[in-house]
Amino acid sequence: MTPGTLGGTFLSVSEQELLGALRRGDEQAFITLVETHGASMLGLARVYVRDRAVAEEVVQEAWLGVLRGIQRFEGRSSLRTWLLRIVANLARTRAVREARSIPFSALAGAELEGEGPSVPPERFRGPQDRWAGHWATPPEPWNRPEHELLSAETRAQIVVAIDALPERQRRVITLRDVEGCSAAEVCNVLELSETNQRVLLHRARTKVRQALDDYLTTSEHQQSP
């Protein structure tokens, strides 16, 4: 089989070299790829299948798909996007089979409509007030030292909040803010328009912020300095 030319503009020189080496069966090239992208691929798989062991199986399947497809890959998308799409397709299929998440098609549209404003309207002054639309009960500053914000307890609140999100919001915030994927990558992998992705991200972040705020501004969680 004639290898596809790796001439696409989405690949850096080092990526082209890496893929070339991989095609020749270079084990170190494979290890480098895994070390670079493996964590993100696992993170993406876990967006669909929560169980870590199942997610690792999905990732393993994905790498097999990568190796089988490596001769045909031409670099028309970035390497990372290609890897993530392979994972996403497998993870979706597996998730439906595992019946641990809602089938993707059932979510269409449901999470973009029907949600009200980000912050409850009663937090702001009403339309007859001379300061209509301004904060009535403003946010309290968190004023916590960094080590407290980074503590396991605080981060656990975030995990719980993300877990409780509607499915598509959870996927977007996990890929964007937990895994650090770009907006373009997430749109590509989750097949969302840029605007929809941003709406979902906004709603997810708003809820997570609120959860953190609830936790950090309750007096019993405040530690003495």
Partner 1 sequence: MSVPELTCKELVEVVTDYLEARMPAEQRLLFEEHLAFCDWCQSYLQQMRATIHLTGTLREDDLTPEARDGLLEVFRDWRHR
The residues of the shown chain that bind partner 1, judged by CB under 8 A, are 25, 27, 30-31, 34, 38-39, 42-43, 56, 59-60, 63-64, 67-68, 117-119, 121, 124, 132-135, 138-142, 149-150, 154-155, 158-159, 162, 173, 177-180, 183, 194, 198, 201-202, 205-206, 208-209, 212-213
Which CB atom, from 96 or from 112, has the smaller least distance to partner 1?
A: 112
Which CB atom, from 105 or from 146, has the smaller least distance to partner 1?
A: 146
Which CB atom, from 34 or from 107, has the smaller least distance to partner 1?
A: 34
Report the nearest approach of partner 1 to the CB of residue 185 (Å): 14
Report the nearest approach of partner 1 to the CB of residue 189 (Å): 16
**Residue among 191, 132, 201, 137 nearest 166 (CA):** 201
Query: What token pair was written down for 190?
Result: 């989750």
Query: What token pair was written down for 68?
Result: 């089988």
Report the nearest approach of partner 1 to the CB of residue 117 (Å): 7
**C-alpha pair distances (Å), 175 with each of 131, 135, 171, 212:** 39, 32, 6, 19
Which CB atom, from 11 or from 165, has the smaller least distance to partner 1?
A: 165
Which CB atom, from 77 or from 154, has the smaller least distance to partner 1?
A: 154
Query: What token pair was written down for 84?
Result: 């993530």
- Residue 54, CB-side half-sphere exposure with 13 Å CA sphere: 17
Report the nearest approach of partner 1 to the CB of residue 153 (Å): 12
Cα separation, 2 vs 199, in Å, equals 43
Report the nearest approach of partner 1 to the CB of residue 94 (Å): 16
Cα separation, 73 vs 111, in Å, equals 34
Question: Which residues does 204 contact at the CB level (< 8 Å), separation at least 6?
Answer: 162, 165, 169, 170, 172, 173
